[in-house]
Amino acid sequence: MSNSTFLLVHGGHHGEWVWAPLQNAMTERGLASRTVTLPSAVTDVDKGEPYPGMYDDAKVIRDAIAQIRGDVIVVAHSYAGVPVTEAVSRDSNVVHVVYVAAYMLDVGESMFGTHGVPSPESLSGLRPAANPDLNLPLAFYDGDPDNPDTARAIARLVPQSVRADFETVTRAGWRQVPNSYVIPTHDLSLTGTVAEQLAERADRVFRVPGNHAPFWSNVTEFADLLVKIDGLVHAAR
């Protein structure tokens, strides 16, 4: 049994539900985990503006970390790398951050800014989950439209706030907290175009089989990797 608790932070458009298969595998391996729901993945569009953004997500993450006793290893997927970077610091009980095909950004950077997209005059509005130009949402999972689990997952995706896409990092927590970057071998998402570049910022880089969400497409391999990372973290302490 590990002495750490893993805090699993989902990417854009998602919810806590995306981690369920991995959490089962983690429990089998003696790893404790918790999840959070990021408000920038908007489940109630009728609430209207201003929709929550990246800074709101960072607050949710900080609050979740504060509620966990003992060491915390944060796992950030895709967009979640941005608010996790904003949220963590050496003053917290976070001992490691795992960036999974995630935006490991520096101060002044935003998710879409990483791809050269200029910030709009207004940060209002929502971005739909289904966007063929970004290879979404099929590329999130296993790329198999005939997989019923994938179809059910796609049906659960929700709009993401534009505010979260463009709000910029004010504190690069990865400069203060030990970290790893995980690159999936078959990431067809937009993140996959910059993953190698972002991974150069990490203390350690791992490669795993799978699509943009390897914890979904390759649960066993990803859970085994977390066991390995957990061991490395505590061997260094």
pTM attached to this predicted model: 0.95
Between CA 33 and CA 175 the distance in angstroms is 24
Burial class (CB in 10 A: 0-12, 13-18, 19+), 66: exposed
What range defines the domain where residue 61 resides? 5-235
* pLDDT at 147 (0 to 100): 81
* pLDDT at 146 (0 to 100): 78
* pLDDT at 51 (0 to 100): 98
* pLDDT at 143 (0 to 100): 67
* pLDDT at 129 (0 to 100): 81
* pLDDT at 132 (0 to 100): 47
* pLDDT at 167 (0 to 100): 98
How many domains would you assign to the chain? 1
pLDDT less than 70: residues of the chain: 1, 131-140, 142-143
Which CATH number fits the domain that encloses residue 28? 3.40.50.1820
* pLDDT at 190 (0 to 100): 79
